[in-house]
Chains A and B, each alone.
Chain A
Amino acid sequence: EPEVTQTPSHQVTQMGQEVILRCVPISNHLYFYWYRQILGQKVEFLVSFYNNEISEKSEIFDDQFSVERPDGSNFTLKIRSTKLEDSAMYFCASTLRGGTDTQYFGPGTRLTVL
């Protein structure tokens, strides 16, 4: 069964450093999402992406964050200058048709900012 994959599974970085989190969505999917989950808190929407453009973003997704689909398979989330409060699980999700189509989530990347 096709699945969303994410790398790395755990990333440790120093405050102020740039990190890139990588996702490989399900191959025929067209809509891509990033969510994060701070330990013990709700899963929070960050951004949605379609046709090489951001469709929607939350207040969390400020200028420190950017997303990119650098090739036909990868979808990345970049955090330019990490802060302690960026420590969280970051989940990628994808759907075929967008809207209320089922979002399939990856296993997540645990980001720890020291």
Chain B
Amino acid sequence: EDQVTQSPEALRLQEGESSSLNCSYTVSGLRGLFWYRQDPGKGPEFLFTLYSAGEEKEKERLKATLTKKESFLHITAPKPEDSATYLCAVQGGTSYGKLTFGQGTILTVHP
């Protein structure tokens, strides 16, 4: 059974204070690892897909990296508008489309 664990559960940062969110996973044959952003009361918003260890993707202040056991979402010089819950999800080799999500990290960026 695919499993995803995210840490920390909550992270408070000052504006401009860079940090990283962790996503550890166990899956039988990783097909893809996905990062989403979720604002309160809304649906997940797609950020990145990573397919293989060593892959990196960037978008504005966010950079996602992948190893064989975990993924990191690095946030550089965050702004208050980056405050949200960040979700990590995996798709394993035995499924075709099903995403298994972690609990999420609640990020709060103070001005």
Interface residues, chain A, with chain B CB atoms under 8 Å away = 4, 31, 33, 35, 41-45, 48, 55-56, 58, 91, 93, 95, 98-100, 102-108, 110
Q: Is the interface of A mostly helix, strand, loop or mixed?
A: strand
Question: Taking the nearest CB of chain B, how far is it from the CB of A9, in angstroms?
Answer: 9
Contact, CB under 8 Å: B43 / A103: no
Partner of B91, one of A31, A100, A110: A100
Which bucket holds chain B's interface residue count?
20 to 34
Among the stretches B10-18, B20-28, B64-72, B99-107, the one at the interface with A is: B99-107
Contact, CB under 8 Å: B44 / A43: yes
Partner of B99, one of A31, A55, A103, A108: A103
Interface residues, chain B, with chain A CB atoms under 8 Å away = 31-32, 34, 36, 41-46, 49, 51, 87, 89, 91, 95-104
CA distance A114 to B16 in the complex (A): 45
Contact, CB under 8 Å: A103 / B101: no
CA distance A103 to B44 in the complex (A): 9
Contact, CB under 8 Å: B44 / A100: no
Q: List 29 A-B contacts (CB under 8 A).
A: A33-B97, A33-B98, A41-B103, A42-B104, A43-B89, A43-B99, A43-B101, A48-B96, A48-B98, A56-B95, A56-B98, A91-B43, A95-B97, A98-B96, A99-B31, A99-B96, A100-B31, A100-B91, A102-B46, A103-B46, A103-B97, A104-B46, A105-B43, A105-B44, A105-B46, A107-B42, A108-B42, A108-B43, A110-B41
CA distance A45 to B96 in the complex (A): 12
CA distance A71 to B96 in the complex (A): 24
Question: Taking the nearest CB of chain A, how far is it from the CB of B84, in angstroms?
Answer: 14
Given contacts A91-B44, A99-B31, A102-B46, contact A48 B97 (CB under 8 A): yes
